[in-house]
Amino acid sequence: MIAHLHGTVAAVAPDGAVIQVGGVGMRVQCTPGTLATLTPGEPAQVATSLVVREDSLTLYGFGSDDERNVFELLQTASGVGPRLALAMLAVHTPDALRRAVATEDLGALTMVPGIGKKGAERIVLELRDRLGPPGESGVAGGLPGARPQRAAQWRDQVQSGLVNLGWAARDADQAIAALEEDGTIGTANGQAVDVAAVLRAALRRLSTQ
């Protein structure tokens, strides 16, 4: 079991990154929020989960052990595989998922592309006693060490994240523009932007259209 990777970020793509460890480039799939913390050429450490299939070995990377643990717990629910679990963590923080399950907030769960009402009900039923209450991990919401990004970087990362979650590029751009227009995103004077927070705000807007 590979629990962590610590090395130098060799490359960052819309759906993952390559971290060089001991001369070997390890590719990890990550949420946009986790990717926002990784910068090519700089050192990084990510918690990881290895998913083994008959025809593949896929490594998933996370900004915290708690996020990794929730990713693995989500997959114990019927119909939830690694891709859907990753999408859930792209839309919600671990504590937000705990809160949604604990309070039976089906609306929050159906914000995740690929989860309908029946799927949300099944997740609540099967995970209510497994995820635990919000705040149980002792980790504050959001990704530890997340680095706000400048305009050119955050816009591409948010759009790529939305597209990877199944939204059309045009819809993603319109959601981002709407958030800028209503003041949700502060970009004046080169102000830094929290990619994970913007991604979640854009998903909330898209889910109400």
Same domain, 43 and 77: no
pLDDT at 201: 83
CATH number, domain of 9, equals: 2.40.50.140
Q: Is residue 145 part of a domain?
A: no
Same domain, 160 and 191: yes
23 CB contacts (<8 Å, ≥6 apart)?
A: none
Same domain, 58 and 69: no
Is residue 169 pLDDT above 80, yes or no?
Answer: yes
Q: Is residue 134 part of a domain?
A: no
Tokens of 82: 């690694």
- The dihedral sign for the CA sequence 38, 138, 87, 109: negative
Q: What is the DSSP letter of 66?
A: H
CATH number, domain of 187, equals: 1.10.8
Digit-coded pLDDT (tens) for 65-97 = 999 999 999 999 999 999 999 999 988 899 999
Backbone angles phi, psi at 61, to 5 degrees: -115, 145
Greater confidence (108 vs 197) lies with 108
Digit-coded pLDDT (tens) for 128-154 = 988 888 875 544 333 334 444 444 567
- pTM for this entry: 0.75
Digit-coded pLDDT (tens) for 91-127 = 889 999 999 999 999 999 998 888 999 999 999 999 9
Residue 147, burial from CB neighbour count under 10 angstroms (0-12, 13-18, 19+)? middle
CATH number, domain of 102, equals: 1.10.150.20
- Domain span at residue 198 reads 151-207
- The dihedral sign for the CA sequence 141, 129, 31, 29: positive
Same domain, 80 and 120: yes
